[in-house]
Structure 1
Amino acid sequence: MTKTIVRATCPHDCPDTCAMLVTVEDGVATQVRGDPDHPTTAGVLCTKVSRYTERTYHKDRVLHPLRRVGRKGEGRFEQISWDEALDTIASKLKEVVSRSSQAVVPYSYAGTMGLVQGESMAMRFFNKLGASQLDRTICASAGGAGYKYTLGARIGTDVEQFQNAKLIVIWGGNPIASNLHFWMRAQEAKRRGAKLIAIDPYRSLTAEKCHQHIALLPGTDAALALGMMHVLIRDALIDRDYVEQYTLGFDQLKERVQKWTPQYTAEICGITPDEVEQLAHDYGTAAQQGDPVAIRINYGLQRVRGGGMAVRNICCLPALVGAWRHAAGGVQLSSSDTFPKNSAALQRPDLLQTPVRTINMSTIGDELLRETSPQFGPKIEAVIVYNANPVAVAPESPKVAQGFARDDLFTVVLEHFQTDTADYADIVLPATTQLEHVDIHATYGHLYMMANNAAIAPLGKAKPNTEIFRLLAARMGFDDPCFRESDDDIAAQAFDRTNARAIHFDWDSLKQRGWQKLDAPDAPFAHGGFPTPSGKCEFYCERMQADGLDPLPTYIAPYESAASNPELAKRYPLGMISPPARNFLNSTFVNVESLRDTEGEPHLDIHPDDAAQRGIGQGDQVRIFNDRGSFVAKARVTDKARKGLVVGLSIWWKKFSADGKNANEVTSQRLTDMGNAPTFYDVLVQVEKA
């Protein structure tokens, strides 16, 4: 028996980007475990990825090209050859392009976060084709915009420093489920005496294990940050030296937050004035004592109308109290911009001959149902989906499914499994998993460049995304040399080696070692140096004013809440959020039986008072609905959901739900204040017994 250990990287949409060791015996992957030597992974994988071999060798893997033989959405296919599949796709694309190349739309996101299998060869193909561009907004673009307006780039506190903090605010996230290795650091800080505070409308697993949980109303995080700033300035809990040297617009900020008294803030947020006072005093007092104070923002709080502004407001807090002076202080939303990615080399935007329109992935339902018009351009005639499952994941799902069900829409899906989206495809192409191809990864939760080596040969007739688009390029007659580059060639171009942070990057050595840390300072903004036009943390931001936004921190009320839309709230009085279920990652892993069995079935957490008003008991099947649609789930009567809020942990494949629907039946295609992102948690519903 031949036994080898292969260095790999978790590819999924998670800030941890774990270093993995894959045991291979006679060509079969038998175990996946965390690399004990990687500083952030520390030998630990989450429940999901530790079962990666179960997913790779799943009995339902798509291992051959498939052609639809039933109605769209039925999921009935026949096996065909690669030549037949590629010829069919190329013929149809040529037909569509003869009318308008922009009638072709790529749809992808973070099914893999790899820089090679994610967007390199695919982007080259679509640029050369002249297809519509895709605005990839569905997760983090609102918060990213607010963060960059304020701090200049998505650079923040190194996760390896959090265990040294004396106060950690976990704002809008549940890291036990979605950021395990940060949580391990936070737990170590707690053992060393740090106070942990969770800010979340829902008492999540994480909130239960923090010293304090502040259960504010959804969409009011920006208001809470403004209230904190009011107290910090009022009570002289700021670092005046840091503010004077390294911030812009303090006087305007001071005037802006005058009205945000604890009483006023509490009324907006649905909490008590004492909670506002205590939070601000805990934060400001610890900083004044010289203790590191850190904020970990996660993505939940930005999925509302004012989500970008909420992140911006929170990002003002560390500069106000001088938290950036410490390596363990500051804020982290994402470390993405620490990595000097060479996107031009990877994606080759120079192949695009003329400007083309951009389609927002978060409004794909509306986009697929549009006719040709001067305003919106040509009707979408072909969609190629890879690394994504929009029928399950995109908002206002009834419209998404209706769009993909069009008989005149040609749809190709690259997939591992027959997902909800694959059921609507004309052609399904079998893609490799992370164990079967080469890739390179930047991360958004730590500072290590990561390599992925292929551990096993592709199963069946599966091919890497890169090879699929190489073959399609050849069928389309694209003969540019970049379409002949190997995956190793592409990976070697991934980072800008002229940048000081990655000047030591070498793909061959990275493949051997598996990971290597960027050359980044421990405390990135200890002495200012923010990558903003002013070089300072911008409380007042002229770029926001130029973009038609309020240049100062403010509060933007949700689209749908009792306060902002009382007429709607009369019909639909309950807010709803749909954060990730612990055993799923977006819609990935839902079809892995052991994980789905652990999760059980779709549930809706509802407060006892709200349940009693509706005659709902524990375990009842309930219908959740609004004007956009409805879905059913089993009620869990619990005070983990604050009064007036219901929580449907997600995202279930529709085919595994009792009624063939999921939480996105009721979500909206409305977009955020900045970043053009979705408003998944800005939703009003009613609930009744099913």
Structure 2
Amino acid sequence: MTAELNVLGACPLDCPDTCSWVVTVRDGEAVRLRGNPDQPYTRGSLCVKVNRYVEHSKAADRILYPMRRTGPKGSGRFERVTWDEALDEIAERLTAIVAEHGGEAIWPYQGTGTLGYIQGETGQAGRRLWNALGASFHDLNICSRAGNTGLRITNGTPGGMDPETFALSRLILLWGTNTLTSGHHLWKFVQRARADGAHVVAIDPIRTRTADQCDEHLAIRPGTDAALALALLHVVLDEDAQDQDYLDRHTKGWDGFEREIRRYPPEVAEEITGIPAKDIRALGRRLAHTRPTGIRATMGLQRHRGGGTALRTIAAIAGVTGDWRHPGGGVSYSTSAHVPIQADTRPGLLPAGPVRTLTMTRLAEGLEDTADPVKCLWVYAANPMGSTSDQNRVRRGLLRDDLFTVVMEQFPTDTVDYADIVLPATMQFEHTDLHAGYGHMYLMWNEPAVPPPGECLSTTETFRRVARRLGLTDPSLYDSDLDIARELLSGGHPYLEGVTVERLRAEGWVRLNVPDPFVPFTEGFPTASGRLEFPGPGEAYVEPFTARAAGPYRLALITPASHTFLNTIFGNNPELTRRAGTPKVLVNEKDAADRGLRDGARVRVFNDNGEMAAELEISDRVAPGVVMTPKGHWPKLSPGGVNANVLVDERDADMGRGAVYHDNLVEVAPEDGAGVTASA
């Protein structure tokens, strides 16, 4: 008889939903993957991307063995070597780098390819090894940092609403978030609210597939969200609908913020946001008189020069209306701050002394530094050649002959092509991990279901072997995965009461020990004052870079998530790349006419950073002055060997040095044209 086993696990990918899944194993092989029907948030469904995960794990281009570069950097030519040979070369090179340049010459460049607490970014996997070597600190700021920082200033934490309470909302603002593409499990709670009469509004520069399903869509100019928030509050004040009791008891700085709101009537906001004043006023009246109002604002919203300020001001809306006191009211950005797990903070696991910080979104700058050069770039769970700003400069940095690059990977990404040593990495149902979604209130356990193929190793096992080959003796470097998991859960926080490794392994998922419904700020905030702290005069709106399109580039570029890729993960999957099609750029009919562009034509999208080739689609999904091309295509599988990140500046947002993927100016011209821009 054929032996069959169902193993509970969790999706590791950079998505708020962090699904609970069930892997069916037959005779030691994963044959089926489905969403866990018993988990309250997943409820049996996965996304179009992850539905192909079993197939993806068996792909012909899976990296199964260690490799050493044989051709020039960037050529992608390698030879297979043994683990012993790879570890010997790594140990020799790292020892020499530390001896000559110090540990800070090592840059451990970790990404969000997995969000696990044991194997991934959330638990800062590998930090024990890097601390022992005195490596530079990697500031992983690429995804959500500006918004996190702004919310910490206003609320004391990025944590907000439990997304399940959107089912109780009577007005829902989906603000800068394409729910049906990037976190579709929230939609069932939105639908439940609509069944009870809720009104749902999409606020987005693009008419997304989510906007198509909403009651209303406001096409906002990119990066002007804070101005719209202020104008909506202006209408709330005109309606005398502020919650004065909540303002008096739970907020700080109201007088100054009220004066700031008064500077942004709907007519002023129309000039800034492009949204007609009558539409702003109508939504403002609805906001004034609808309790509870729930706002979903996710990471794409804050990837511009004023991103931190935007989230800070949007969070303030619920302070004025008092929505933070109601189940179904407030703002949902990331629930991860509610998870009281602290990774590697015991005294023995901290760096021996201060080290420099290297910022993820400044990779090109870091690799160009000749005064204090990076001599080893160790890339894991990341694909910077496909996902990082200013792609041409990054490429030049990775071509440096004196840079020793190690890449831990599952597939031959563009970044792998620049490696000196490639180490084969496990995929999710081949290793142990612990997860917490940033879009729900559950912890998830991922039990390994099948053995790794070839010679693939987990992140933790790879770092244990590297430490052993370097002769390092700190016992914490050799903790097992289960030891690490028990440490992560050992903090004693009330939210973790009753949550153990044994329980997670048995049940697969556990809700944090919080009330249901969870309403976090009914009686105060985790700020220094204990109150929501409003922005002061001049602190509530930062103009985006794209607002001043007065030079040769006059179109604001948006690079949202693709429906078929997750960042660049799945960018090599044959079926998903077929569905994604060739890279396209969406241009409004007016902008196309001004430039003499035809629908379906091959075009160049360009600025001073570089250019990419794409197929033009004339569409009313983007407003005049805005163009859109999705992220996620692998450069080497795209025309010209680049993707949209070749156009993105290596520039900082206003807070946390966040990324600015949605705050760049470009032009579009026929592929064989001279690039003459439209007249002013």
- TM-score > 0.5, shorter chain as reference: yes
1-side partners of 2:314 and 2:82: how far apart? 53
* C-alpha distance in 1 between matches for 2:511 and 2:68: 44
SS in 2 for 1:33: strand
Residues 197-252 of structure 1: per-residue CA shift (max 9 Å, x gap)? 00001111111111111111111001111111222123211111111111111111
Q: Is the 8 A contact 1:121 1:470 kept in 2?
A: no
Does the CA contact (< 8 Å) of 1:492 and 1:507 recur in 2? yes
1:109 aligns to 2:111 (yes or no): yes
Structure 1 residue matching 2:488: 3-state secondary structure: coil
Q: CA–CA distance in 1 between the matches of 2:9 and 2:538?
A: 44
Indicate the SS of the match to 2:546.
coil
CA pair 148-684 structure 1, distance change in 2 beyond 3 A: same
Q: Does 1:502 align with 2:496?
A: yes
Question: Structure 1 residues 183-192 or 360-369, which shifts more?
Answer: 183-192
Task: From 519, 523, 529, give the equivalent of 1:534.
Answer: 529
Deviation track 1:408-440 (CA, whole Å, cap 9, x = no partner) reads 110000000010100100000000000100000
Query: 2:117·2:125 contact (CA, 8 Å) conserved in 1?
Result: no
State the partner residue of 1:228: 232
* AA matched with 1:15: P
- Equivalent residues of 1:528, 1:535 under 8 A apart: no
Q: Report the RMSD for the aligned CA atoms in angstroms.
A: 1.3
Match of 2:24 in 1: 23
SS at match of 1:344: coil
Question: Are the equivalent residues in 1 in contact too, given 2:599–2:617 (CA < 8 A)?
Answer: yes
CA distance in 1, matches of 2:339, 2:216: 34
Residue matched to 1:148: 152
Give the whole-Å Cα distance in 1 for the aligned partners of 2:169 and 2:564.
Answer: 29
Residues 379 and 405, structure 2, Cα contact 8 Å, conserved in 1:
yes
For 2:105, give the aligned amino acid: A
Q: Deviations over 1:269-314 (max 9, x none)?
A: 1121112111211111112xxxx21000011120100000000000
Name the residue aligned to 1:596. 577
What amino acid maps onto 1:538 in structure 2?
E
Q: Partners of 2:603 and 2:231 in 1: how far apart?
A: 37
Contact 1:224 1:265 in 2 (8 A): yes
Query: What's the TM-score once normalised by structure 1's chain length?
Result: 0.95
Instruction: Go from structure 1 to structure 2 and tell me whether the alpha carbon gap of 1:496 and 1:230 turns closer, same or farther (over 3 Å shift).
Output: farther
Shift of 1:495: 2.7
Say which of 409, 417, 420 aligns to 2:414. Answer: 420
Alignment partner of 1:245 out of 236, 244, 249: 249
For residues 176 and 121 of structure 1, the distance between their equivalents in structure 2, rounded to whole angstroms, comes to 30
Aligned equivalents of 2:649, 2:478: Cα separation in 1 = 42
Which of 180, 184, 206 is matched with 2:184 structurally?
Answer: 180
Q: Which amino acid aligns with 1:294?
A: G
Q: CA deviation at 1:326?
A: 1.7
Q: How far, CA to CA, are the matches of 1:323 and 1:411 in structure 2?
A: 50
In structure 2, C-alpha distance between the alignment counterparts of 1:148 and 1:264, rounded to whole Å: 28
Residue 181 of structure 2 aligns to a residue whose secondary structure is: helix
Contact 2:250/2:523, CA 8 A, preserved across alignment = yes
**Aligned residue type for 2:354:** P
Cα contact 1:253–1:552 (8 A) shared by 2: no
**Following the alignment from structure 1 to structure 2, what is the Cα–Cα distance between the partners of residues 322 and 525?**
13
Paired with 2:298 and 2:476, the residues of 1 have a C-alpha distance of 37
- Distance in 2, Cα, partners of 1:264 & 1:12: 41
Whole-Å Cα distance in 2 between the matches of residues 525 and 446 of structure 1? Answer: 14
Specify the alignment match of 1:200 in structure 2: 204
8 A Cα contact 1:497 1:504, kept in partner? no
| Corresponding residue for residue 381 of structure 1 | 375
* 2:628 aligned partner: 647
Asked if the contact 2:128–2:349 (Cα under 8 Å) also holds between the matched residues in 1, the reply is: no
Aligned partner (choices 656, 668, 671) of residue 649 of structure 2: 668
1:50 is paired with a residue of what secondary structure? Answer: helix
CA distance in 2, matches of 1:364, 1:73: 17
2:302 maps to amino acid = Q
Q: Distance in 2 between matches of 1:610 and 1:114?
A: 44
Give runs of aligned pairs for residues 248-647 of structure 1, distance below 5 A.
248-287=252-291, 292-345=292-345, 350-372=349-371, 378-521=372-515, 522-525=517-520, 527-540=522-535, 553-561=539-547, 564=548, 566=550, 568=551, 571-647=552-628
Question: Shift of the alpha carbon at 1:615?
Answer: 1.9
CA deviations on 1:571-630 (whole Å, 9 max, x unpaired) are 011110100110100010111111111111111111111112222122111100001110
Residue aligning to 2:675: none
Q: For residue 659 of structure 1, give the secondary structure of its aligned residue in structure 2.
A: helix
Label 1:320 to 1:476 Cα distance change in 2 as closer, same or farther (>3 A): same
Deviation digits for residues 434-458 of structure 1, max 9, x if unmatched?
A: 0100000122100101100001001
Output one character per residue of 1:322-356: Cα deviation in whole Å (capped at 9) or x when no partner.
Answer: 1122211111000011100122358x774421211
Question: 1:98-137 counterparts in 2 under 5 A?
Answer: 98-99=99-100, 100-118=102-120, 119-137=123-141
Structure 1 CA distance, aligned partners of 2:442 and 2:166? 16
Question: What letter matches 1:126 in structure 2?
Answer: W
| Kept in 1: contact 2:4–2:26 (CA 8 A) | yes
Separation of aligned partners in 1, 2:348 and 2:208: 42
Task: Say if 1:121 and 1:483, in contact at 8 Å, map to a contact too.
Answer: no
Bigger shift: residues 336-345 or 390-399:
336-345
Q: Residues 586 and 551 (structure 1 numbering): CA distance in 2 closer, same or farther, change over 3 Å?
A: farther
2:676 aligns with none
Relative to structure 1, the CA distance from residue 551 to residue 28 in structure 2 (aligned partners, 3 Å threshold; closer, same or farther) is farther
Indicate the SS of the match to 1:277: helix
| Equivalent pair of 2:147/2:299 in contact (CA under 8 Å) | yes
**How far apart are the structure 2 equivalents of 1:471 and 1:69?**
24
Residue 121 of structure 1, CA deviation: 4.7
Change over 3 Å in CA distance of 1:526–1:308 after alignment to 2: closer
Contact 1:539 1:553 in 2 (8 A): no
1:680 maps to which of 653, 657, 661: 661
Name which of structure 1's ranges 231-240 and 295-304 shifts more when overlaid on structure 2: 231-240
Contact kept, 8 Å, 1:345 with 1:494, in 2: the verdict is no
Q: Which runs of 5+ in 1 are unaligned?
A: 373-377, 541-549
* Partner Cα distance (2:518, 2:539) in 1: 25
- In structure 2, what is the Cα distance between the partners aligned to 1:257 and 1:621? 45
CA distance in 2, matches of 1:58, 1:325: 50
Distance (Å, rounded) in 2 between the aligned partners of 1:483 and 1:343: 14
Change (3 A) 1:10 1:32: same
Could you tell me how far apart the structure 2 residues matched to 1:146 and 1:269 are? 21
Match of 2:214 among 210, 215, 224: 210
The size of the alignment, in residue pairs, is: 666
| Counterpart contact for 2:313–2:540, Cα < 8 Å | yes
Q: Are 1:497 and 1:505, in contact at CA under 8 Å, matched by a contact in 2?
A: no
SS in 1 for 2:412: coil
TM-score w.r.t. length of structure 2: 0.96
Q: SS at the partner of 2:241?
A: coil
Shift of 1:188: 2.4
Q: What amino acid is aligned across from residue 73 of structure 1 in structure 2?
A: G
**Partners of 2:230 and 2:65 in 1: how far apart?**
55
Consecutive unaligned residues in structure 2, runs of 5 or more? 672-680
Q: Secondary structure at the match of 2:344?
A: helix
CA distance, structure 2, for counterparts of residue 362 and residue 184 of structure 1? 34
Cα-to-partner distance string for 1:53-108 (whole Å, 9 max, x where unaligned): 01111111000001111111111111000000011011000111012211110101
